[in-house]
Amino acid sequence: MNYCVIIPTYNNEKTLKRVLDTVLTYTSNIIIVNDGSTDSTAYILKEYLQLAQIHFAKNCGKGIALRQGFKKAVELNYNYAITIDSDGQHFASDIPAFIDFIKKEENVLLIGSRNMTHDSIPQKSNFGNKFSNFWFWFETGIKLEDTQSGFRLYPLLLIPKKYFTNKFEFEIEVIVRSAWKGISIKNIPIQVLYDPTERVSHFRPFIDFTRISILNTVLVFITLLYIKPRDFFFSFRRKGIKNFFLENVLHNEDSITKKSVSIALGVFIGISPFWGFQTIIVLALAVLFRLNKAIAFAFSNISFPPFIPFIIYGSIKAGSFFVHSNSTILFDKSITLEAIQNNMQQYLVGSLVLATVSAVIFGSISYLILLFLTTFKNNK
């Protein structure tokens, strides 16, 4: 396999030599990135001048170190890069497992999965990993056991070329954006050792956790406003209306009630006056209430352009029963932006009324249709 091992290091003089020597028993294709270490790292690395080395004058962050390592690996014509931390927590003996996996299934980004229930694992690390796993699932739909391990294998020619993070949060950005590109992200079991007498962690709980939280906030917005709609439209376009209905509605394993409520939610949000925020709201509520996201999102598009005039007119007419207006709007050229602004209160109240009534109707009819189809299918 055309691969190398990238070892970013920053002030890990106690464990660096051991890590390098153990990795050398498996490969000499090693790229060391000295991220501005101020201890004896530079002196130790003089013993390994046969290996590719990158030295920073000052500490730039793990993200920059890995990105420069990737760049160097591509220049040296490697197709894959295994990254391993220099703090001694990983075992080089797991490297063959990564290689064996990639021989069977190419073009996969592998993340070493640590046993986070081990007694040596700090509780804060366990919590941080669960936190990261949840947001990775929310942003990509992929469930992993470990998203924070630094022991990974990257398909260098497939992962994104440009990034906007520099520190620890880079390792989250790269896997999320790789998943968005369609790269398969999987875990592989690895060993782990946390020795408090040797291991030096440079993770700053408050600062780095804040940076990670900000990154996840940005990624969630991108997910809801662009990635989810993009994936849905690609799926819908690829499958067609008939196949989409069969796969996502009829043959889906969700209960009839969950499907019907998902349809009702989509219709309610689609008609409600949440213009510009319908996608993010419907997906967030679908996740919150554990409904079918694909169905809810599909039916939230009930307000696509040909139907918009009917929805606006119906909302204003529904609102007229609750809010008095001096002007009368007919379903003709009088439906203008100015007319809607002059009847805004009537429109807002009416749209919520229309959305509620429509959601109940669509949800009820959907329940009856799905119940009939399911019963018919079971009796065949």
Helices (H), the chain: 16-24, 41-45, 62-75, 95-104, 123-140, 170-180, 205-222, 228-244, 256-271, 278-288, 293-300, 308-319, 337-342, 344-379
Does residue 121 surpass a pLDDT of 80? no
DSSP for 86-99, written as a single string: SSS-S-GGGHHHHH
Helices (H), 185-292: 205-222, 228-244, 256-271, 278-288
Rounded CA-CA distance 37/46 in Å is: 14
pLDDT bin (cut points 50, 70, 90) of residue 338 is low
Once rounded to an integer, what is the mean pLDDT over residues 70-95? 96
Does residue 379 surpass a pLDDT of 80? no
Name which of 6, 19, 170 is nearest 82 in CA terms: 6
What pLDDT is attached to residue 94? 96
What pLDDT is attached to residue 108? 96
Does residue 336 surpass a pLDDT of 80? no
pLDDT bin (cut points 50, 70, 90) of residue 125 is low
Report the chain's mean pLDDT, rounded to a whole number: 86
Q: What is the pLDDT of residues 10-48, one digit of tens each?
A: 999 999 999 999 999 999 999 999 999 999 999 999 999
How many CA within 13 A on the CB side of residue 259?
Answer: 20
Does residue 82 surpass a pLDDT of 60? yes
Once rounded to an integer, what is the mean pLDDT over residues 300-310? 75
Rounded CA-CA distance 161/316 in Å is: 50
What pLDDT is attached to residue 210? 85
Does residue 200 surpass a pLDDT of 70? no
